[in-house]
Amino acid sequence: MGRIPCCEKDNVKRGQWTPEEDNKLSSYIAQHGTRNWRLIPKNAGLQRCGKSCRLRWTNYLRPDLKHGQFSDAEEQTIVKLHSVVGNRWSLIAAQLPGRTDNDVKNHWNTKLKKKLSGMGIDPVTHKPFSHLMAEIATTLAPPQVAHLAEAALGCFKDEMLHLLTKKRNIDDFQNQEPNAAPPYINSNSKQDEKDYTIEKIKLGLSRAIQEPDNMLQSTKPWDSTAANFAGACSAFPASMSGYHQYGPSSFANEGDRSPWSQSMCTGSTCTAGDQQVRLHEKLLEGENGEDSDEGGKEIRNGSSMFSTSDCVLWDLPSDDHLINPIV
DNA sequence: AAGACCCCCAACCGCTCCGGA
DNA sequence: TTCCGGAGCGGTTGGGGGTCT
């Protein structure tokens, strides 16, 4: 028993599309529309799978598509919506005219995830790493806490190392701790540099664990993210804990908050994760067609899900401003 | 100059969803 | 109500181009 293939693979061309194929597909669709993708390649004279044609059309050839870079506003929207609906790219893309789910997904995976990690925010839960550490620390017995930094390092080290070792600016590092030049400065060994970075991360995580209350009591969630994470993890040079390495604006810098950071800050970063779970549950209830006692309606009412009294997450657009209702 | 490495993004794969019979 | 086929979705891959060493 195998799955029925969507087309005969033997007679089907795969890989990059040629301009000629694009022309054939575009002109066929212009004449006949996009009904029945299975028949389209045959009728258009293309040796392609119908699915491949659909993808090519929806992700690339459609005349209403934008192909340029994502704007700040678009990025904000993606991050905000992702914090609420998770990896539901088609839902997110529906709020961004001219962008496809593939575009959004790619942009998230290649840019935004790193951007958030660089700001000390876990891109999955949208919580600050330091807060996650502190939360875990408060739930563990002391002997376990002792191993937390090590374990956490295992979880986050790829992102951290990527950010810290790859794009390091040694001058920044020296400015941060002028009296404690890292040992690798005088060494040619990349391994030394990496080990040093790892030790620094461990130290920072340990501090985060030792002071969970301070982290949790922060009244400004954002302050406990990039800035405090950098503070708790003294190993992090300011230039790395912020995200101006990626662009002109800086998150860690108090006096220089981009619209991005402002909108991120207005939401309850530190509680977004819990609320996200609740929203996910509500969403699922909505999808299953069951009105929950307290929320099903809001969920199906599109953007109002973002403004229910107990679920205010971000300064998301109101109903009127969302391009397409969610769900 | 050239090979290694990295990043981005188009395209593919396989699963789920949905609507019609 | 069930089944089936088409469409949609999200995860993953791989190739091409750029950068680094």
- Confidence grade of residue A145 (pLDDT, cut at 50, 70, 90): low
Is A1's pLDDT higher than 50?
no
CA distance linking residue A206 with residue A141, whole number of Å: 15
- Confidence grade of residue A156 (pLDDT, cut at 50, 70, 90): low
| Cβ of A202 less than 7 A from strand C | no
Q: Which nucleotide has the shortest C1'-to-CA distance from A100?
A: C9
| Cβ of A156 less than 7 A from strand C | no
Query: Residues A173-182: what's their mean pLDDT?
Result: 42
- Confidence grade of residue A130 (pLDDT, cut at 50, 70, 90): confident
Q: Which nucleotide has the shortest C1'-to-CA distance from A105?
A: C10
CA of A296 to C1' of B8 (A): 39
CA distance linking residue A150 with residue A132, whole number of Å: 14
CA of A302 to C1' of B6 (A): 40
Q: Exposed, middle or buried by CB within 10 Å (0-12, 13-18, 19+), for A45? A: exposed
Protein-proximal positions, strand C, CB < 7 A: 5-12, 15-16
- Higher pLDDT pick, A227 / A19: A19
In tens, the pLDDT along A23-33 reads 889 888 888 88
Check residue A148 and give its pLDDT.
Answer: 62
In tens, the pLDDT along A246-271 reads 333 333 333 334 444 443 333 333 33
DSSP 8-state secondary structure symbol assigned to residue A18: P
Check residue A275 and give its pLDDT.
Answer: 44
Closest residue to B17 (CA to C1') is A287
Q: Which nucleotide has the shortest C1'-to-CA distance from A287?
A: B17
Query: Residues A54-63: what's their mean pLDDT?
Result: 89
Q: Give the CATH class of A72-118.
A: mainly alpha
Highest averaged pLDDT of the listed ranges A17-21, A172-176, A250-254, A262-266: A17-21
How many CB atoms neighbour CB A151 within 10 A?
A: 12
CA of A162 to C1' of B8 (A): 17
Protein residues with beta carbon less than 7 Å from any atom of strand B: A 3, 6, 9, 14-17, 49, 51-52, 55-56, 59-60, 67, 102-103, 105-107, 109-111, 162, 166, 287
Tokens 């908050």 appear where? A257
CA of A284 to C1' of B16 (A): 15
CA of A72 to C1' of B19 (A): 39
Protein-proximal positions, strand B, CB < 7 A: 6-15, 18
| Cβ of A31 less than 7 A from strand C | no
How many CB atoms neighbour CB A77 within 10 A?
A: 23
| Cβ of A169 less than 7 A from strand C | no
- CATH code 3.40.50.280 for A1-63: no
Buried b (16+ CB within 10 A) or exposed e, A46-74: bebbbebbbbbbeeebeeeeeeeebeeeb
Check residue A149 and give its pLDDT.
Answer: 58
Domain extent listing, chain A: 1-63, 72-118, 129-266
- Fold equal for A1-63 and A72-118: yes
Residues 65-124 of A with CB under 7 A from strand C: 87-91, 101-102, 105-106, 109
